[in-house]
Amino acid sequence: MAEKTAPHNQQQLHVFFFPFMSPGHQIPMLDMARLVATRGVKTTIVTTPCNFSRFQSFIDRDRQSGNVDINVHILKFPSDTAGLPQNCENLDSLPSRLLSNSFSRAVMMLQPQGDDLVCQYRPDAIISDLNIPWTAQIAKKYDIPRIVFHGTCCFSLCVTDSVSKYKPYEGVSNDWMPFLVPGLPDRVHITTSEMPGRFFRNLGLQEFFIQFVEAERNTYGVVANSVYEIEPEYVEHYKKISGKKIWTVGPVSLCNEKDVDMAERGNKASIDKDHCLAWLDSKEPNSVIYISFGSLCAFAESQLVEIGLGLEASNCSFIWVIKDGFGDGLAIQDLEERVKGRGLVIRGWAPQLLILNHLAVGGFMTHCGWNSVLEALSSGVPMITWPLFGEQFYNANFVLKQLKIGFGIGVDTGLKWGEEEQAGALVKRSRVAAVVSRLMGGSESVKEMRERANRISKPARSAMSEGGSSHGNFDLLIEDLLALKQERLAKGE
């Protein structure tokens, strides 16, 4: 828990971090907070009890090292008031997608507690997830710079902006006809069926999204878990269209260098890390495909069966992660028995960083959440893209068309939240088997793809080292915030 108010240090910078309570947003922001703390910055993470329990071991290890000034403030999550079950404090713990609106209301109800904390401790800056828009009001109230974290790449931010600004989908005859997105550095085509908003229309979140836009007006800059060298044109384009400062500081996952940190990143793994590593050690280099669709995926049971039978038919070694509470039917259990030794099924939380960094892993079937994409890029692992919702189709476009380091599974639309079971099996076992066999095969095109993926991984990894672009951007961010602090002190604030 947090310490009591300390005397104000005019030289040391104090930064509050407000991570959104969803794994894809929370995990990189925690890494970011830890990286900022290693630079001598007093760092405070604002979260809720159940979320703190997921990363407390990290904080305890960091504190024991004696090299960081990192604190945690706990907000009481208003589950009862918002109509949520007890301890339902993270988006991945919702028993139903239809409670998403209630969860959003609960997040908005945290504002008074957040205001009280900022008023009491008067940090020098706030770094906030875009999904916590009320931090913009607090930052304006106390004249504190707010830096926003979007959780995706600049390519996807630019596509989103251009689609919103130019509305190129108007007049397109159907949802599956590709149209050109104007105003971008490259020719980018998407379809209406791939646009993020359509996946959440039935959840009543429009008002929540509107507040994001308003919050952007009260934002000093943007911090991105990306690498300048991977998307330089889109970093520069986003600077121009947003009028904001932007710091690319990724891949922040690389701060996890020890096996224990990689295994526990985000949550306690559902498999013993030593068992997982021993299984991978028994496989040849590039012979294992890793399959994971993120913490929010809710496939129908019929789709899980098709994935499993496709993996079996591919004859490839695989590690398959299935979300807790899914895939418990006899069909999946029987499959596990048949592929024992060749396939490893993990139910629950997987040590993804540990797996992707292993030499045996030669492919990744992914939903294209940006964290997963960036972790694959950093590890030099080519991908099979299977986007499900949100901006994941834009991320997949980036992987396939910009970087050219993967194959698409062939979906032309995603899953509407709350309607996953009705969607059934969109991809059949034959398609799964064919694409997996293609990626894990030894064709010349795949060899070239692996070489490209390996080349891309080098600037991604070196960016975080001393002298690298992301390492330098962390320094520039801190220098900028220190300069703003000195300006406020000079004014007598």
Residue with tokens 């930052």: 139
What is the spatial distance between Cα 113 and Cα 107, in angstroms, rounded to a whole number? 11
Closest C-alpha among 279, 332, 288, 328 to residue 306: 332
Question: What's the confidence (pLDDT) of residue 51?
Answer: 96
Under 8 Å between Cβ of 144 and 124: yes
Nearest Cα to Cα of residue 460 among 398, 373, 383: 373
Residue 86 three-state SS: coil
- pLDDT tier for residue 10 given thresholds of 50, 70 and 90: low
pLDDT at position 4 over 70: no
Q: Which amino acid, 47?
A: T
SS3 at position 89:
coil
Residue 206's pLDDT is: 65
129 is catalytic: yes
Percent pLDDT > 70 in the chain is 95
Distance CA 222, CA 457 (A): 24
Phi-psi region of 439 (alpha: psi -120 to 50; beta: other; left: phi over 0): alpha
Helix (H) or strand (E) holding 63: helix 49-65
Mean pLDDT of 351-372: 97
Section 16-36 average pLDDT: 96
Residues 374, 32: Cα–Cα separation, whole Å: 15
Cα(224)–Cα(469) distance, integer angstroms: 12
Q: At 212, is the pLDDT very low, low, confident or very high (cuts 50, 70, 90)? A: confident
CA angle 472, 234, 192 (to 5 degrees): 140
CA distance 159 to 156: 5
Using the predicted structure, report yes or no on whether residue 99 has a pLDDT greater than 70: yes
Residues in Cβ contact with 254 at an 8 Å cutoff, skipping those fewer than 6 apart:
378, 461, 464
Beta-carbon contacts of 377 under 8 Å, excluding residues fewer than 6 positions away, are 227, 230, 251, 403, 405, 453, 456, 457, 460
In one-letter notation, the amino acid at residue 198 is: R
pLDDT category, 424, cuts 50, 70, 90? Answer: confident
What's the average model confidence in pLDDT over 222-226?
Answer: 97
pLDDT over threshold 80, residue 207 = no
| Share above pLDDT 90 across residues of the chain, in percent, rounded to a whole number | 76
DSSP secondary structure letters along 341-368: TTEEEEES---HHHHHTSTTEEEEEE--
What is the reported pLDDT for 2?
A: 37
- Domains of the chain plus CATH, in order, are 14-250+464-491 (3.40.50.2000), 263-462 (3.40.50.2000)
Could you say which of 14, 129, 150, 237 is catalytic? Answer: 129
Which pLDDT score is estimated for 265? Answer: 86
Q: How many CA atoms lie within 13 A of 160 on its CB side?
A: 18
Packed helices 23-37 and 370-379: angle between N→C axes, nearest 10 degrees: 60
Per-residue pLDDT, averaged over 208-233, amounts to 87
pLDDT of residue 420: 80
pLDDT, residue 255, reads 92
The pLDDT of residue 1 is above 50: no
Q: Could you report the per-residue pLDDT of 40-88, keeping only the tens digit for each?
A: 999 999 999 999 999 998 888 888 887 788 999 999 999 999 999 999 9
Arithmetic mean of pLDDT over the chain:
92
Give yes or no: 8 in active site: no
Burial 132-145 (b: 16+ CB within 10 A, else e): bbbbbbbbeeeebb
Q: Which of 85, 73, 20 is nearest to 43 (CA)?
A: 73
The pLDDT, as a whole number, for residue 493 is: 58
Q: What is the pLDDT of residue 7?
A: 38
Give me the catalytic one of 25, 73, 237, 358. Answer: 25
Task: Please tell me the predicted confidence (pLDDT) of residue 208.
Answer: 67
What confidence score (pLDDT) does residue 353 get? Answer: 95
pTM for this one?
0.94
Residues 406, 449 contacting (CB under 8 angstroms)? yes
Give the count of alpha carbons within 13 A of 201, CB side only.
8
Residue range 438-462: mean pLDDT, rounded = 95
The string over 26-49, giving b where at least 16 C-beta atoms fall within 10 Å of a residue's C-beta and e elsewhere, is bbbbbbbbbbbbbeebbbbbbbbe
Q: How confident is the model at residue 9 (pLDDT cuts 50, 70, 90)?
A: low
End-to-end CA distance of the chain: 29
